[in-house]
Structure 1
Amino acid sequence: MNKILENALNRKSIKALILDLDGVVTQTAKLHANAWKHMFDDYLLQRGKQDKKEYEPLSIPLDYRQYIDGIPRYDGVRNFLKTRSISLPEGSPQDEPGKETVAGLGNLKNQYFLELVKQGGAEVYTDTISWLEQQRRLGRQTAIISASKNCQAILRGAGIENLFDVRVDGVVAEELGLKGKPDPAIFLEAARKLRVLPQQAAIFEDALAGVKAGKAGNFALVVGVNRGNAANTLLHNGADLVISNFTDNRMETTIHRTEAQELPSALENNLLKEKLNGKQPAVFLDYDGCLTPIVKDPDQAILSDEMRNVLRQLADVCKVAIVSGRDRQNVKQLVQLDNVYFAGSHGFDISGPGGMHTEPGGASAALPALDASAKVLREKLQSIKGTLVERKRYAIAVHYRNVADENVEQVKQITEEVIAQHPELKKGLGKMVIELKPNLDWHKGKAVLWLMEALELNEQVTMPLYIGDDITDEDAFATLQDRGITILVGEHDEKTAATYRLKDVDEVKQFLDQLLHTLTYHG
């Protein structure tokens, strides 16, 4: 038994379990992925000859997981074709497999999938089956959900149909007109059929769309099932916890999130003494909104002499790094200190004293896509007053702080359309800004861990301390939640993984003064 999972279920008083089929209960996810690749690669090759251009084949690690996995079949066709700037007629479910319509391509994929199932059958995850049998003996209800219309046939073929009280699949969703994931409709229907509230049910998902749907439906517990190497992605997309197996205690880090207003102040008495507990701090800080107030023009975010002075003194007694979404060179010029480390572009570009410079995230491959996207965004957004397209080395920031309210949605829509055309890129959110970033598993939290290792800061004697204000800092808060001090400045639009709070830049200065005093006189 996975004791950590069982404790979470008991703590939340869970009465019902709602599990996704592919990747959680059965091992058909690989069959689905291969069927999609077979269908799309053949189609793109034929389409390329017709259009006299070369289309990039479907990438299972990038395209399948982001645009198709866990999503209704025809939606998956539309999503992927959009990334290749291809638009097709909808057609109808009765279209012949292979007809050049959304439905025709979707039907061809389904044909390929069924052929693969017949060849090898659908294997089950034995850890899931064993655990489900145990949970049913404990009296918990169970439901299976799937976007696939082949769900019942797969369950019967695997001999596990009797393990579920309720089935809500692609057939049921079509009959009831339910939207596909990331909309929570399919989960909510399963809860309704089980006669439980979402607050009494737990969701088990291996797909990003499913995790997002579980959170959107306000279910008591959303468990990510990591069958591959997607633990961080599942956690950062809303999973309350991530497991790699149902029957042992291999558990990824659980991230606790709360409302910013509920956090205790980092200025409270004895915080530093109690938390540091004899360890030496390593201080990581965001720039905008943390060391300087947020301003309409990013070029006007000037560091005060007082803040610069305390940073200089602090860097003389402990390691200090500025971790920013700005270009490394830009933030370095603004700070003007040579005893501080700089991680620019959300940690893709890092430098420090002694000539240190490295780019650990592997983002250089995304440069052509960033170049092309910046050009298109400037052309399409130039007529919308107040929009600022800021090109950084490894990111593009589309600022809409100065855009009229009635035009904000148009800015967002245009930006997302450009992102969809480049699978090498992904969307990042901030305060009144949308960013286009390399579609890589790298973020501020990983940059902090990289610096800790590179600087040989052993966690037995070093306490990482991270201060940030934005949604982009949440990756660092989550990464350091159980291993350091994490402080949110102000608040943003989401719950936070930080454990303490400061109101504004003035309180950041006050806190850094306290830290400097603690290290200088009590270190």
Structure 2
Amino acid sequence: MIKTKRLRALIFDLDGVITQTARVHAKAWKTMFDAYLEERARRDGKPHAPLNISTDYRQYIDGMPRYDGVRNFLASREITLPEGAPADEPGIETVAGLGNLKNVYFQELLQQDGVEVYFDTVAFIREMRAEGMRTAVISASKNCKAILAAAGLEELFEVRVDGVVAAELGIKGKPSPDIFLEAAKRLQVSPQETAIFEDALAGVEAGKAGGLGLVVGIDRTNQATELQRHGADMVLQKFPTLNTTMKNIAANTVQKHDGNTLPSALNKVQELLQGKKPAVFLDYDGCLSPIVKDPDKAVLSDQMRTTLQRVAELCPVAVVSGRDRANVEQLVKLDNLYYAGSHGFDISGPNNMHTEPGGAAAAIPALDKAQVELNERLRGIEGALVERKRYAIAVHYRNVPEEQVNQVIEVAQDVIAKHDELKPGPGKKIMELKPNLDWHKGKAVHWLMEELDLNKPDIIPLYIGDDLTDEDAFAALQGQGIGILVGEHDEETAATYRLESVDEVQVFLEALIQELK
């Protein structure tokens, strides 16, 4: 449609289209308004319903300038306040004072949680720029420049028209089309030669009112019908990619954190789900069962098994493990779960599902030869364990004397170097030999999401893992789901929340059950 309409420029809204800061904004608005309404109810003796993110935020606040959002929401609760001035102290009982307090909360959350981007949008923008399209970003937020800088995306846009520019020029907020028309003007194109990409109802309404050449609704929250009703010419759940692979884009934009600084996922189930239905993916060792010296003794407790079964009765659940699929399936012993063994090379599930999507069978002869050599060369080292799996070999050195650990690692690396079909896979106190293929836990999760028809805007994937091998899944789900790190490892993590232990995993899953019920 871009080519058919001979469009020359593309304008992208920031929150909800390029970045996931809409969620951070919504959380800041709710924190501010709920506290204010509670205090006002005590003072006036008249209760007010707290802000509902799935309804109130979308209807009264999303896409609006900050003070308009304050005014609109308060009107829905039959509250009128003095306007105040932009210099009002945060928290003063004026429209400006409450809006300024919301911004304080937003800045704190931004520092705490960082900026998450939608990889599909970034890939699409890069491809369109490579084809000569001009690009601009718009936002009602005055934090737009800081958010783009934090995400490393400033170079993608020739023009930025945000809350700062709007205030300087006196531009009206959405549903007025002024912000889009100003961006087109600065790109030196006519509105009819311009496409806009918007997730907010007020945004598509503004695009239609301004006569833009193509108004595309981006449906991240299962509201396609509403977007069309407000003026979208077409609605996308995600952007198509043409030439650039998602892997290359993700490699440049995955956000990493110090695991010790991540916020706890406990008591935050409702916040994480955002009103969506979860699809739950979990590693086995260190998440469902504590790490033990002997892998054969990593037994699932009856309580955890019962919890898993109850979760699986309410939403899809998959165990994604480096163990053999048959081994982890035997340990869990539940028929209503999906199992991805050998880091996703071997997958099974209900209704007789069984597939090996990664193409690892070709590496079996090399694994057989490597197993023989490893057993021979490590036989004399106390505590060294060579664990053969169908599509991998795990060389364990957890029980090896400290002075001999490097020797075990060097032997494993030497054996890997002899076989082009194999590559190393680091883990907690292990060195794995894996098929040298572009496949890992993250790809397995995406495969399951596609196969089980879970790539929908009303479904959010949650991945819970503790190991370095789980980082592929955390990275793969950034921009689409939630990664939860259990405990800690020695590297920065792409997860965004954490749990301390297997016990906390069970507490989290029980809370998930209650929320789903």
Report TM bin, short chain. Answer: 0.5 to 0.7
How far apart are the structure 1 equivalents of 2:500 and 2:11? 39
| TM value normalised by structure 1 | 0.52
Q: Map 1:7-18; keep pairs closer than 5 Å.
A: none
Shift of 1:278: 2.2
Provide, for residues 292-344 of structure 1, a one-character-per-residue CA deviation record: whole Å limited to 9, x for no partner: 10000000000000000000011011000000000000000000000000000
How far apart are the structure 2 equivalents of 1:489 and 1:278? 24
Q: 2:378 aligns with which of 367, 378, 381?
A: 381
| TM value normalised by structure 2 | 0.53
Q: 2:247 aligns with which of 226, 232, 235?
A: 232
How far apart are the structure 2 equivalents of 1:428 and 1:230? 23
Q: Is the 8 A contact 2:269 2:508 kept in 1?
A: no
* Number of the residue aligned with 1:259: 258
Q: Per the alignment, do residues 233 and 302 of structure 1 end up closer, same or farther by CA in structure 2, a change over 3 Å counting?
A: farther
What do you get for the CA RMSD once the two structures are aligned?
Answer: 2.3
Q: 1:474 aligns with which of 471, 474, 478?
A: 471
Shift of 1:272: 2.1
Shift of 1:2: 13
* Number of the residue aligned with 2:103: none
* Number of the residue aligned with 1:316: 313
Does 2:429 match 1:429? no
How far apart are the structure 1 equivalents of 2:475 and 2:259? 14
* Number of the residue aligned with 1:501: 498
How far apart are the structure 1 equivalents of 2:247 and 2:461? 20
Q: Map 1:84-483; keep pairs closer than 5 Å.
A: 232=247, 241=252, 254-268=253-267, 271-483=268-480
Q: Per the alignment, do residues 365 and 320 of structure 1 end up closer, same or farther by CA in structure 2, a change over 3 Å counting?
A: same
Letter in 2 for 1:435: E
SS at 1:258's partner residue? coil
Runs of 4+, deviation exceeding 6 Å:
1-4, 228-231
Provide, for residues 78-112 of structure 1, a one-character-per-residue CA deviation record: whole Å limited to 9, x for no partner: xxxxxxxxxxxxxxxxxxxxxxxxxxxxxxxxxxx
How far apart are the structure 2 equivalents of 1:491 and 1:3? 41
Shift of 1:234: 9.0
How far apart are the structure 2 equivalents of 1:393 and 1:436? 11
How far apart are the structure 2 equivalents of 1:492 and 1:282? 25
Q: Per the alignment, do residues 418 and 229 of structure 1 end up closer, same or farther by CA in structure 2, a change over 3 Å counting?
A: farther
SS at 2:351's partner residue? helix
Structure 1: runs of 5+ lacking an equivalent? 5-126, 131-227, 242-253
Shift of 1:458: 3.0
SS at 2:281's partner residue? strand
Provide, for residues 332-364 of structure 1, a one-character-per-residue CA deviation record: whole Å limited to 9, x for no partner: 000000000000000000000111000000111
Q: Per the alignment, do residues 390 and 230 of structure 1 end up closer, same or farther by CA in structure 2, a change over 3 Å counting?
A: farther
How far apart are the structure 1 equivalents of 2:377 and 2:11? 53
Identity of aligned residues (%): 63
How far apart are the structure 2 equivalents of 1:2 and 1:471? 39
Q: Per the alignment, do residues 399 and 230 of structure 1 end up closer, same or farther by CA in structure 2, a change over 3 Å counting?
A: farther
Q: Map 1:69-88; keep pairs closer than 5 Å.
A: none
Letter in 1 for 2:308: L
Provide, for residues 27-46 of structure 1, a one-character-per-residue CA deviation record: whole Å limited to 9, x for no partner: xxxxxxxxxxxxxxxxxxxx
Number of equivalenced pairs: 283
Q: Is the 8 A contact 2:422 2:434 kept in 1?
A: yes
Letter in 2 for 1:464: P
Shift of 1:279: 1.3
Q: Is the 8 A contact 2:441 2:470 kept in 1?
A: yes
